[in-house]
A and B are shown apart, each in its own frame.
Chain A
Amino acid sequence: MMGMDVLAADLAYWQETLIKVGIGLAAVLLPAGTIVYLYLFKMMSFMQSRLGPMEAGPYGSLQLLAEVGKWIQKEDIFPSRADRFVFAAAPFVVLMSTFLLVLVLPAGPDAVFVDLNVGIYFALAVSSISVIGILMAGWSSANKYSLLGGLRAAGQLIAYELPLILAVVGVVIQAGTMNMQGIVLAQADGEIFGWGGLGNPYIFTQFVGFIIFMIAVQAELTQPPFDMPIAESELISGYLTEYSGIRFLLFFIGEFATSGVFSAVAATLFLGGWYVPGIDSSSDIFNVIGPLILFGKMMLVAFFIYWFRFTYPRFREDQLQRLALKFLIPLSLANIVSTGVLKVVF
């Protein structure tokens, strides 16, 4: 991402594309690996008063490589009655939506893949492609549990997309732009009721929106307490039941990479993205330290996602839908109305 425009002038199209693909892979996989090791392996273990992986590498830090190696070695099993093409394609659809999300995430003033005017709209739109992948997986597995899991996932993901989008509307109203870069700059140059010492990270003025966004993200990731679609004790992991080997690995990467990318989106929308107070927001240094700042903020948001994941037991299906449709959506609508009124008044 860094200095893309500077490099682009001297490079052929294929070279540029190669670099972009490499950086995109790194931008998705490195945070996913960090999150899985730090949070899923270690923090969860500490919260349960145990140590987690300790054997592979110092403090088990190479455990993830061992797991990936194990999954790659395993046989790629297709159920005999499965719809082979759909079954094979489903994990790639899920993973694709994750990679597309990264495209519009700014990590510095120039460090962005594509600077779309409708950046956040694009991000929310591509994030819902994963529903299609999950439905494909559930349907093509030729398995009742998978189908039930897929349908539950579709119901849940669509239900929680509404509060997710409505929570973002508040931010868009306040920033006056849908461009992710513009939202970051609006936070950097903003003022909280006339005081601009910190800029205006929207977590302060859009706190309700932030809470709604985080709850909806938790549900979009189908993580506990919203893991009804992949409930392992009743649906034997839902749409993942029939997957093995590298295709299961793709789903696994998709889940945790998406949690990282959604954390980064939340950090961009509510915590000020690549900007830190004290440095001029047009300074070139943000092209270098911006990705690191964004990474730090992303890990902070991801900490909360995983903290909630390890604390709460699973919602029942009706509780889950009631929370989205009867509580979060009215609350986010009220948030939009009050944001709009305050925007006009001030």
Chain B
Amino acid sequence: MARLPGMAKGLGVTFKTMMRTLFPDGMKNPIPRPSAGAQTVQYPHEKEAPVTRARGVIALHEENCTACMLCARECPDWCIYIEGHKTLAPPRRAGGKPRQVNTLDRFDIDFSLCMFCGICVEVCPFEALFWTPEYEFSELRIADLLHDKERLGEWMHTVPDFEEYEAGSEAKVKKVPR
């Protein structure tokens, strides 16, 4: 018997939620409009904008990558495949020695293995990997989830700018290479 007020309250909660979903304008405008009252959106027809720093997919800025392999080594599920070769670049100053640089041949991320931990983005010392909030990259074949460096580069234009740090911060806000 002591539980009855709580049980009545529970019934009230569900009923009120139903009325709020059916009549979002309240009883002054008693036309059922559940599409406006529901908290959910009908996904393929309407989409919610993800938050700016959402971790959707990883983008690669190829020019910054030196094939240093740090990301591939730190990746917990070894889903990054990197191949490169050494080439000679022209010297910085006239009369100098030609520099030896790494050239990227292959940079693949297998998103069927990736668990989106973001360690590769963290460890990259040359600002070559970025999170983007894009999340619609499902494929019919699982092999298509292996994104090569062109595909990863296409995500770059969706990378949002870093947000300003709070006032008085010593560190400078990083720039996203465009």
**Chain A residues at the B interface, C-beta cutoff of 8 Å:** 43, 45-51, 54, 307-308, 310-312
Task: Return the contact of B17 from the options A48, A51, A54, A308 (Cβ within 8 A).
Answer: A48
Question: Which residues of the partner chain B approach A312 to less than 8 Å between Cβ atoms?
Answer: 7, 10
Please encode chain B, from 26 to 45, with 1 for each CB lying within 8 Å of some chain A CB and 0 for all others: 00000000110111101000
* Structural contact, A46 and B11, CB atoms closer than 8 A: no
Whole-angstrom distance between the Cβ of A327 and the nearest chain B Cβ? 9
- Can you show 27 pairs from A to B with CB atoms below 8 A apart? A43-B18, A45-B38, A46-B17, A46-B18, A46-B22, A46-B34, A46-B37, A47-B15, A47-B17, A47-B18, A47-B21, A49-B17, A49-B21, A49-B39, A50-B38, A50-B39, A50-B40, A51-B34, A51-B35, A51-B38, A307-B14, A307-B15, A310-B14, A311-B10, A311-B13, A311-B14, A312-B10
State how many angstroms separate the Cβ of B22 from the closest Cβ of chain A.
6
CA A122 to CA B40, docked complex, whole Å: 47
Judge if B149 is at the interface, Cβ distance under 8 Å: no
Chain A residues contacting B20 (CB-CB under 8 Å) are 49
Note all chain B residues with C-beta closer than 8 A to A308: 11
User: Chain A's interface: helix, strand, loop or mixed, by majority?
Assistant: helix
Q: In the complex, which residues of chain A have a beta carbon less than 8 angstroms from the beta carbon of B18?
A: 43, 46-47
Cα distance A93–B14 when bound, in Å? 35
Contacts of A311 in B (CB 8 A): 10-11, 13-14
A43 to chain B: which residues have CB within 8 Å?
18
Chain B nearest Cβ from A318, distance in angstroms: 15
Residues of chain A within 8 A of B40, CB atoms compared: 49-51
Contact, CB under 8 Å: A47 / B37: no
B7 and A51 within 8 A (CB): no
Query: Is A46 within 8 A of B10, CB to CB?
Result: no
Q: Nearest Cβ distance between residue B88 and chain A, in whole angstroms?
A: 60
Is the pair B11, A307 in contact by a Cβ cutoff of 8 Å?
Answer: yes
Closest 8 CB pairs of A and B: A46-B21, A46-B18, A50-B40, A47-B14, A49-B39, A311-B14, A47-B18, A51-B38
Measured between beta carbons, the chain A residues less than 8 angstroms from B22 are 46
Bound complex: CA of A46 vs CA of B17, how far in Å? 7
How many angstroms between the C-alpha atoms of A45 and B34 in the bound complex? 10
Chain B residue nearest to A51 in the complex (CB): B38
Given contacts A45-B38, A47-B18, A308-B11, 11 further A-B contacts (CB under 8 A): A45-B21, A46-B17, A49-B17, A51-B34, A51-B38, A51-B40, A307-B15, A311-B10, A311-B13, A312-B7, A312-B10
Please give, as numbers and ranges, the residues of chain A lying within 8 Å of B15 by CB-CB distance.
47, 307
Q: Are B38 and A49 in contact (CB under 8 A)?
A: yes
Cα(A312)–Cα(B7), bound, Å: 8
